[in-house]
Amino acid sequence: MSEKGLLIVLSGFSGAGKGTVMRRLLQKYENYSLSISATTRSPRFGEVDGQDYFFKTTEQFESMISDGQLIEYAKYVSNFYGTPKDYVEEQLELGKNVVLEIEIQGALKVKEKFPGTVLLFLLPPSAMELQKRLIGRGTEDFATIKARLSRAVEESQGVENYDYIVVNDNLDICVDDINCIVASEHNKAVNNLNLIDNIREELKSFSEGVIYDTSIV
Ligand code: 5GP
């Protein structure tokens, strides 16, 4: 239905599996683009600059803010994260659904600026599973894991602002659910007003002109 892409935010507690869900979504379905954020956090083992994040110094990040290059930014635990504007706008124009994998403060700012944004919150099947995943991935020390769990407690209080909650228990079911939500959002009347306008104009001209009975031809 609507031809322009939708802006989609995927948030979730650290360890909920946002990265895995995103990779599977992009692999399984066309028409999605993942926005790459800028951050002042250091790269984790295996992360590539320009692919996972644009890794910036605090000074570089601050000049991106003052040059108006970011749609939104927020501080998460002790680092800054932000969404670069140009890529997102370009992909939306191309008809791609652009997914921002960002935390809750940024999500709310994006929704305020672009009310058509679809906010999705990814939940783990249980708190125990979340803790297991955070420890299991072995990328953070225990102090950081505790800070992230405590941030999860705070974030759980803002989840009612989201449009949809999706549970990441079975990866493929979760990804298919997200794709169905996005398809329904494209069909919303408010996203198809151009289509309705075009049909109305055609109907008007038919109603005022000669009616050809195509069954005779
Ligand atoms: P991580 O350090 O685990 O890669 O990301 C930490 C948190 O920052 C996650 O909740 C992630 O969704 C969020 N995040 C990543 N990029 C952005 C961004 O551009 N803006 C905001 N507001 N949050 C982001």
Closest CA to 15 of 161, 148, 143: 148
Cα–Cα distance, 187 to 1 (Å, whole number)? 6
Architecture of domain 7-216: 3-Layer(aba) Sandwich (3.40)
8 A C-beta contact, residue 186 and residue 6: yes
pLDDT of amino acid 217: 55
User: Residue 86 C-alpha to ligand 1 middle, in angstroms?
Assistant: 18
Cα–Cα distance, 108 to 162 (Å, whole number)? 9
pLDDT of amino acid 215: 74
Query: Of ligand 1's atoms, which has the minimum distance to the CA of residue 70?
Result: 19
Q: Residues lining ligand 1, CB < 6 A?
A: 14, 37, 41, 72, 74, 76, 81-83, 101-103, 105-106
8 A C-beta contact, residue 131 and residue 150: no
- DSSP E strands in the chain: the ranges are 7-12, 32-34, 38-39, 54-55, 70-76, 79-84, 97-100, 118-123, 164-167
Cα–Cα distance, 87 to 175 (Å, whole number)? 23
pLDDT of amino acid 15: 86
3-state secondary structure of 107: helix
**Segment holding 150, helix H or strand E:** helix 142-155
State which amino acid sits at residue 167.
V
Share of the chain above pLDDT 90, in %: 74
Query: Of ligand 1's atoms, which has the minimum distance to the CA of residue 52?
Result: 4
Question: Residue of the nearest CA to atom 14 in ligand 1?
Answer: 102
pLDDT of amino acid 95: 94
pLDDT of amino acid 2: 65
Enumerate residue ranges in the chain where pLDDT < 70.
Answer: 1-2, 212, 214, 216-217
> What is the four-CA torsion angle of 83, 122, 170, 180, rounded to 10 degrees?
-80
**How many Cα atoms are found within 13 Å in the side-chain-facing hemisphere of 2?**
22
Cα–Cα distance, 211 to 98 (Å, whole number)? 44
